[in-house]
Amino acid sequence: MNNCHDIEPLLTSHLLGNLDPVRSDDVRKHLETCSDCRAAVEELELTLDLLRPALAVESSTAPARLDERRRERLKHWRIPGLLLWLTENPRPILQVAAAAACIALIATLFMPALRASKRKAEMARNIVDYRAIMSGTEQQAPAKPAMQVAMIDTFEAEHAGKRSYLEKSRPRAKAPEFPASAVVAAPESAPLPAEDTYGADLDMSIEQANLSGGAAGALGYAYAVDNKMEGAKTAPPGDALQPVSFEMTSGKDDVSDVAVAESISRAVGCAERPDRREKEVKVAESDAVIAITAPSARPEPVMLARNEEIVDVGAITAANDREGALVMKGLYAGRSSGGRAGARSQYADSYGIYTEQAVVKSLEWLKQNQRADGSWNHAEPGVASLGLLAYLAHGETTASEKYGETVEKALRYVLKRQDGDGRFSADPAEHALATYAISEAYGLTRIPTLKQAMNKGVAAVISDTLSGNAPGEWAAPALRASQLAGTDNTDLARAKESLSSNLRTSSEPTAAPSLQLLGDAKDPATRQKLDELAAETFDWNSSRSLEQWLGVHEALFRAGGQRWAKWNSATIKALLQQANEDGSWPARPDTASPFKGQAASTALSALMMQVYYRFLPTFKPVATEPDTPAATNDDVTIRIKDALASAREEPPAKPVFRAYGSNPYIEVLSNRFSTFSIDVDTASYTLGRKYMQNGSLPPAEAVRTEEFVNFFNYGYTRPGKDVFTISTEAAPSAFGPGHLLKIGVVGRNVSANGRHEAVLTLVIDTSGSMDTPDRLGLARQALRLLLDQLSPNDRVAIVQYDSHARLVLEHTPVAERETIRTALDGLQTSGSTHLEEGLMLGYDVAAAAFKPGAINRVLFFSDGVANLGSANAEDILAAVAEAREKGILCSVFGFGTGTYDDTMLETLANRGDGTYQFIDSLNEAKRIFVDNLSATLDVVATDVKIQVEWNPARVARFRQLGYENRQLKTEDFRNDAVDAGEVGASQAVTALYEMDLAGDEAAPLGTVRVRYRDAISGQVFEIERKILPAGLRPQFDSAAARFKLAACVAEFAEILRVSPFADGSSFEDVARVLRPVALELGTDPQVQELLSLVHSASSLPRANQ
Amino acid sequence: MSDIEETGKAELETIMAEHESALLRYAARLVNDPGAAQDVVQDTFLKLLRGWTDGARPTRSLTSWLYRVTHNHAVDYIRRENRLKILHRAHLDASPDTTPPQQHKELERKDALRLALEHVRQLDPAEQQIVILRLQEGMPYQQISEITGQSESNVGFILHHAVKKLSKSLAKAGMPRRFVRHSRSGDGGSPAKAGELS
């Protein structure tokens, strides 16, 4: 049994919540029986209660920042010696060399690191063993095994029912000790190629090889030293050989690593010393394979496990290596998830968020619609090749988890079509296309079967080219891709030359992309053709084939500049508008193209949107997304380890928003239902307003059209007895062709007896980041307003959280206002943000005070930044969803911009059956807590869903504005298990649709249904209302002022979120329509404010993220 | 300026932006002098810079390393300046011999807090460190353990004894016992009624 002697020393920890549950329990039990200890606890509590505020008082002696003098001193503190020289040397390649020299000095001091290479040798042996097993022989490992190992016939292996070589090597590759650092002799690197400013030449593998020279040599030398190879030992790093120490990181994706491995071997092959070259080549190959294998086996921790060995190397270079200084882009590096995101953000303009979504949908569609034999259209290797290219462009190979099977089937199909002469098709153009796809597949996967097929295929393309047998626009890509993939055809150069001279003299401007690929980007003929292409406008219905358009698109992308920016936005807009809802593109009208049908259109459209990362312009390294760690990116990073990265605990705070894309147009004949969950949030508008008032447009992803629309009051008539009323109004759109339909749904007011009793738990973020007047300061003011509105028998508890959470005030009747106010005023900010603990404690407290029939609600006040606990949401969200089941609702109130996590807060409110509002000013707080308090607290219905059934006789197609992340499946409307939004007392929700009308003018447009669960009885009801033709105004001008207001708000939001459907509209257009409306609604201050926001918007820059 | 140098500078800027105000707050609490706190924190960052080139680097957690170095510099400073003597005088000023307990009962809340702080400064450096890290900086035991080199359970013991010591010395100084009852810790004990001032 526990006695006081054991328990007493634990009491402070117990009070502070620092004991594990078992001991905490012991203490609690002991306290029940021991009055001495209870007294001691009382005493300690008193002291702690005094100490905490005492220590929290920011003594006037603590400055927030170092003063300028000291700051300057730190800034001008120079890194002495070698690093100093290094930092002052301007040429990048010399920096690399210098870094190398410098590191080597240190590294030699740390021989243990070298010992690690022994394990690497063992690793190589393992792989060799593996190869022996694979080939069914037990022979001794040959001296030059590695690259061959990588080429073990993956196809054969996959017949055995396994996915990839790498996966199979996993058990063996367990040994994580692949070497972190090594001292090495590297061949002198070739000078970096100058950047091509006009049309980029795409020969990246060569540049990569040059860049990687030092690294490759590093591997080679380390291996050589360890294995006592001749030459290495006797030839210490000389003048022409720069020693280098480095670390190689790589992502999960095997593919580009192989490409890089090859570049490395090639680079070493370029070494100046013939006597050493051969060995180094071999060695580099071995190591390269290890580099591929080890990280794949243990995707994340490999690097960390090895950090210790290079601590000092890392420390020395930490200063010059923040994100991993030398990032060697693999040939296909842009195709990883991080690479894609980076490339999009750099090249895709604001459409990146839409194109990626569309690409993923189209890949999904292609997967669903692939035929059993791997083709899409019967007997057409061409379409299968296009499909293949689309997947490969996305970095999807046979090893891909999601699309591996699709890719493999398509590959098999194309390969099967190859005849004895190596031809995939009798049509030379189609054959060239297939060769292109197979070459790229080989380049990405290194599957030997593909190499043979590629070599045979390219031989036929070459013979077609040399014999003038019109090989079409695919010949140049085929030649180029096979060259990059490493075909050994000796006639390739001749064929390229011949093709190029033919194309240069051709009058057809669409030869430009081919000329670029053939290395003639700067030829005047190419330039002239490019100029002609840039003058064209992409048109889906034009007579140009889609593959020609793809060529034009790629050519202009490579040429870059203003022309590209202009072309890109217009083209992508036009292309996205053609997309079907299911992710496919419709079959094109008859064109010159041999490839017709939906699959061909879809693959080609996807390829057009993938241009940003398919080919990266030469030597413009793409910054990867900061939140994508190197380990998930298949760039091969040669990184001089940033020693501090692992020590840094909190990621840099920045606003987090998530884009949900735009709803597409839907043909009523294909789907006459539109179903969505109700959403009464308004945070997006207030947040956007705050951004604009601070001088910039909000990030596009932060704008949710429905939250903009729902912020405004549309004067709907409140229901009498019913829970909801539905009203509709329609008129021609003011901002485009078609009509706009507005649907209003209003919940009833609270019953005559007034609002229900409220049991509120305030969970307040008091972390350091909240310490500004517009965060905790404003929250405090808002809460005072709330407090004044609550009735005396409502109860309020306060939970505060920063580094840890604590109950500041247990549920206290509002009658004791002063007590609550004092507690609020006593809140102090400090520390980090343990969101999880705060929420958990909040819900615990709320559950303990749960009162059936009352409003049980957790009110959550935060800036959303979480940096302790499982900030990664899922755990928190699960707990929140569980509390919702118990009847505890939540309201989320966001504060502050800058480090604001919009996504986190919105998701939280969704899962917790709550509302989400952003409080940017005292006025907004007043609107929420004074004017709309009952709507904020009291719920009249939950799981409220809306379904519109369109009448095909009257409506041809429709598109919903907003509610992108609230869409429900048609069948879920009547599935009451599916969670949906809640509606507070007298709360109104507005939905807007764009429609194209057709046919019978007397017919109703459709029917609106609302299904909800009554908050009091728990019963589910459904009401409906026909959208009668009477509600359809002949002109926009004859519609009600509030209707026009909604139209303006929605258009404003659509422009702000760069929706492709807001095509051609400007803020000025919105202002023009809004001005008379604002005049008419002169007494509504919110409308006046909107007008001034719209006026100011056109001169504001987009917020940086 | 080369990229590399810029990167290094940016690195330092980032680290400083992240930690300087917390470290200054911590140092100021220890040395009780704004200028000295600035010196202490500047020295900490200098040490970090030097570490980058000497090959020494903070193991495991940069944050813990910064706090530890700041603490060491602060203690050095206190020794150097013979701060303890001054603190001792502060202690004498606050002792019950010079002020009758009855007067203390009427202390403003602000004065009470200040007095409590002075008592904190009389603790041993090791106790002070843990009290400040836990109660001011809100750090978990695990991190305090990293900073101080004490085991986690030791951190708990030291903290407990420090709080007990403070309880006694504050009681002896005639500190009113019923200040600020509404701000209490989360997990343990029974909820208390708020606001009694006597």
**Most confidently modeled range among A49-63, A819-833, A862-876, B87-101:** A819-833
- Cβ contact, residue pair B184, A67, below 8 Å: no
**Beta strands A242-244 and A939-950: pairing type?**
unpaired
Q: Which of the four pLDDT bands, split at 50, 70 and 90, describes residue A638?
A: very low
Which residue type, as a one-letter code, is found at position A719? P
Question: Quick check: pTM over 0.80?
Answer: no
Instruction: Report the C-alpha gap between A949 and A970 in whole angstroms.
Output: 10
Name which of B62, B141, B182 is nearest A647 (Cβ-Cβ): B62
> CA B91, B96, B97, B100: dihedral to nearest 10 degrees?
140
Higher model confidence: residue A403 or residue A592? Answer: A403
Please say if the pLDDT value at position A694 is more than 90: no
- How far is Cα A616 from Cα A633, in angstroms, rounded to an integer? 16
Q: Which residue has the higher pLDDT, A236 or A789?
A: A789
Distance from CA of B98 to the nearest CA of A (A): 22
Collect all residues of chain B within an 8 Å Cβ-Cβ radius of residue A48: 135, 163, 184-185
Model pLDDT for residues A814-834, shown as the tens digit of each residue: 888 888 888 888 887 777 777
Query: Would you state the structure tokens that stand for residue A123, as one six-digit string?
Result: 């690793």
Burial class (CB in 10 A: 0-12, 13-18, 19+), A563: middle
Q: How many residues does this entry show for chain B?
A: 198
Q: Sorting pLDDT into bands at 50, 70 and 90, what band is B107?
A: low
| Better pLDDT: A197 or A721 | A721
Residue of chain A nearest B3, judged by CA positions: A87
- Where residue A173 falls among pLDDT bands split at 50, 70, 90? very low
Say how far apart CA B148 and CA A247 lie, in whole Å.
33
Query: What pLDDT digit, counting tens, does each position of A955-989 carry?
Result: 999 999 988 888 888 888 998 888 888 888 888 89
Distance from CA of B13 to the nearest CA of A (A): 9
Interface touch A63/B37, C-beta < 8 Å: yes
Exposure class string for A231-270: b at 16+ Cβ within 10 A, else e: ebeeeebeeebbbbbbbbbbbbbbbbbbbbbbbbbbbbeb
Q: How confident is the model at residue A1010 (pLDDT cuts 50, 70, 90)?
A: very high
Residue A992's pLDDT band, with cuts at 50, 70 and 90, is very high
Average pLDDT over residues A769-782: 83
CB interface of A with B, residues 317-376, below 8 Å = 318-322, 325
Closest residue to B138, CB basis, from A41, A58, A802 = A802
Asked whether the beta carbons of residue A59 and residue B140 sit closer than 8 angstroms, the reply is no
Please choose, from the candidates A830, A732, A657, A624, the residue with its C-alpha nearest in 3D space to the C-alpha of residue A1044: A732
Contact B53 A81 (CB under 8 A): yes
> Stretch A930-940: mean pLDDT, rounded?
80
- State which H helix or E strand residue A916 sits in: strand A915-918
Q: At A863, is the secondary structure helix, strand, or coil?
A: coil
The tens digit of pLDDT for each residue in A575-617 reads 888 888 888 888 877 666 777 788 888 999 998 888 776 654 3
- CB–CB of A808/A800 below 8 Å? yes
DSSP collapsed to 3 states, A1003-1052: CCCEEEEEEEEECCCCCEEEEEEEECHHHECCCHHHCCHHHHHHHHHHHH
How far, in Å, CA of A128 to CA of A143, rounded?
10
Subunit contact B135:A48, Cβ cutoff 8 A: yes
Cβ within 8 Å of A, B 150-169: 156-157, 159-161, 163-164, 166-167
Q: What is the DSSP string of A143-173?
A: SS-HHHHHTS-HHHHHHTT---HHHHTTTGG
Closest chain B C-alpha to A687 CA, distance in angstroms: 25
Min distance A91 CA to chain B CA atoms (Å): 9
Secondary structure (DSSP) of B126-167: HHHHHHIIIIIS---HHHHHHHH---HHHHHHHHHHHHHHHH
Average pLDDT over residues A1063-1069: 84
The yes-or-no verdict on residue A631 having pLDDT over 80 is: no
Q: H helices within chain B, ranges in order?
A: 3-31, 34-54, 62-80, 83-94, 101-105, 109-121, 125-131, 141-148, 152-172
B142 at A interface, C-beta within 8 A: no
In angstroms, what is the C-alpha Rg of chain A? Answer: 33
Taking the Cβ of residue B90 and every Cβ of chain A, the question of whether any pair is shorter than 8 Å is answered with no
Is residue A529's pLDDT more than 80?
yes
Among chain B residues, CA nearest to A650: B18
Distance from CA of A31 to the nearest CA of B (A): 9
Asked whether the beta carbons of residue B29 and residue A77 sit closer than 8 angstroms, the reply is no
Q: Do B53 and A49 touch (CB under 8 A)?
A: no
Contact A809 B182 (CB under 8 A): yes
> Is A429:A473 a contact under the CB 8 Å cutoff?
yes
Closest listed residue to residue B20, CA positions, set A62, A883, A385, A412: A62
Residue of B nearest to A27 (CA): B188
- Tell whether the model's pLDDT for residue B98 goes beyond 80: no
pLDDT category, A625, cuts 50, 70, 90?
Answer: very low
Q: What is the pLDDT of residues A405-433, one digit of tens each?
A: 888 889 888 988 888 888 998 888 889 99
- Closest to B182 (Cβ–Cβ): which among A12, A41, A808? A808
Amino acid A345: pLDDT: 61
Exposed, middle or buried, B23 (CB in 10 Å: 0-12/13-18/19+)?
buried
**Contact in structure between A963 and A679 (CB atoms under 8 Å):** yes
Crossing angle of helices A598-609 and A381-393, rounded to 10°: 30
H helical segments located in A849-889: 874-886
CA distance A151 to A330: 18
Is residue A658 very low, low, confident or very high in pLDDT (cuts 50, 70, 90)? low
* Mean pLDDT on A3-26: 84
**What contacts A629, CB < 8 A, 6 or more positions away?**
none
Q: Mutate which of B4, B48, B160 to disrupt the A interface (most A C-beta within 10 Å)?
A: B4
Kindly give the pairing relationship between strand A758-765 and strand A795-801: parallel
At A743 the pLDDT is 94
Question: Are B175 and A35 in contact, with CB atoms under 8 Å apart?
Answer: no
Tell if the CB–CB gap between A807 and B195 is shorter than 8 Å.
Answer: no
For A133-170, the pLDDT digits (tens) are 333 333 333 333 332 222 222 233 333 333 323 333 33
Q: Which residue has the tokens 């004991």?
A: A19
Instruction: Kindly report, residue by residue over A198-208, the tens digit of the pLDDT.
Output: 222 222 222 22
Partner residue facing A50 (CB), from B20, B116, B141: B116
Chain B: closest CA distance from residue A110 (Å): 11
Q: Which two tokens stand for residue B63?
A: 């944050």
CA triple A1073-A1077-A1079, angle to 5 deg: 125
Task: Work out the minimum CA distance from A36 to partner chain B, whole angstroms.
Answer: 14
The string of DSSP letters for A756-778 reads PPEEEEEEEE-SGGG-SIIIIIH
* Shortest CA distance from A81: residue in chain B: B53
Q: Do B8 and A87 touch (CB under 8 A)?
A: yes
End-to-end CA distance of chain A: 59
CB interface of B with A, residues 25-84, below 8 Å: 25, 28-29, 32-34, 37-39, 41-42, 45-46, 49, 51-63, 65
Render pLDDT for B127-181 as a digit per residue (tens, 0 to 9). 888 988 888 877 888 888 888 888 888 888 889 999 988 888 888 877 655 544 4
**Residues A1092-1104 pLDDT 10s:** 999 988 888 876 5
The residue with greater pLDDT, A175 or B192, is B192
Which band of pLDDT confidence, cut at 50, 70 and 90, is reported for residue A2? low
pLDDT of residue A212 exceeding 50: no
Task: Residue B186: list chain A partners with CB under 8 A.
Answer: 17, 799, 804-807, 841
Map A225-271 to HEC letters. HHCCCCCCCCCCCCCCCEEECCEEECCCCHHHHHHHHHHHHHHHHCC
Percent of chain B with pLDDT over 90: 2
Q: Are A592 and A543 in contact (CB under 8 A)?
A: yes
- Asked if A823's CB is within 8 angstroms of B180's CB, the reply is no
The model's pLDDT over A332-390, given as tens digits with 9 standing for 90+, comes to 445 556 556 666 665 565 566 677 788 888 999 999 889 888 888 766 788 899 999 99
Q: With 70 as the cut, is the pLDDT of residue A663 above it?
A: yes
Q: Is the dihedral of CA A357, A358, A359, A364 positive or negative?
A: positive
pLDDT given for residue A591 in this prediction: 63
Cβ–Cβ < 8 Å for A86, A320: yes
For the cut 60, the answer to whether the pLDDT of residue B89 exceeds it is: no
Cα(A564)–Cα(A744) distance, integer angstroms: 43
Closest CA to B66 of B50, B46, B44, B34: B44
Give the nearest partner residue to A52 out of B34, B114, B183, using CB atoms: B183
Q: Residue A539: which residues within 8 A CB-CB, separation 6 or more? A: A574
The 8-class DSSP code of residue A930 comes to I
Residues of B with CB below 8 A from A9's CB?
A: 156-157, 160-161
Q: Which of B185, B193, B197 to mutate to test the interface with A (most CBs of A within 10 A)?
A: B185
Is the confidence at residue A546, as pLDDT, over 50? yes
Task: Give the mean pLDDT of chain A.
Answer: 69
**pLDDT(A648) > 80:** no
C-alpha A341/C-alpha A148 separation (Å) is 33
The H or E element containing residue A387 is: helix A381-393
Q: A30: closest CA among A66, A6, A59?
A: A6
**What single letter denotes the amino acid at residue A65?**
R
> Span A278-300, mean pLDDT?
28
Closest C-alpha to A286, from A139, A175, A121: A121
The residues with which A697 forms a beta bridge, in sequence order, are A1102
pLDDT in tens, A102-128: 454 444 444 444 444 444 444 444 333
Residue A292: pLDDT band by 50, 70, 90 thresholds?
A: very low
CA pair distance B93, B86, nearest whole angstrom: 11
Nearest CB among A51, A71, A316 relative to B53 is that of A316
pLDDT at A247: 28
Q: What are the pLDDT digits (tens) for B22-38?
A: 888 888 888 877 778 88
Helix (H) or strand (E) holding A856: strand A855-862
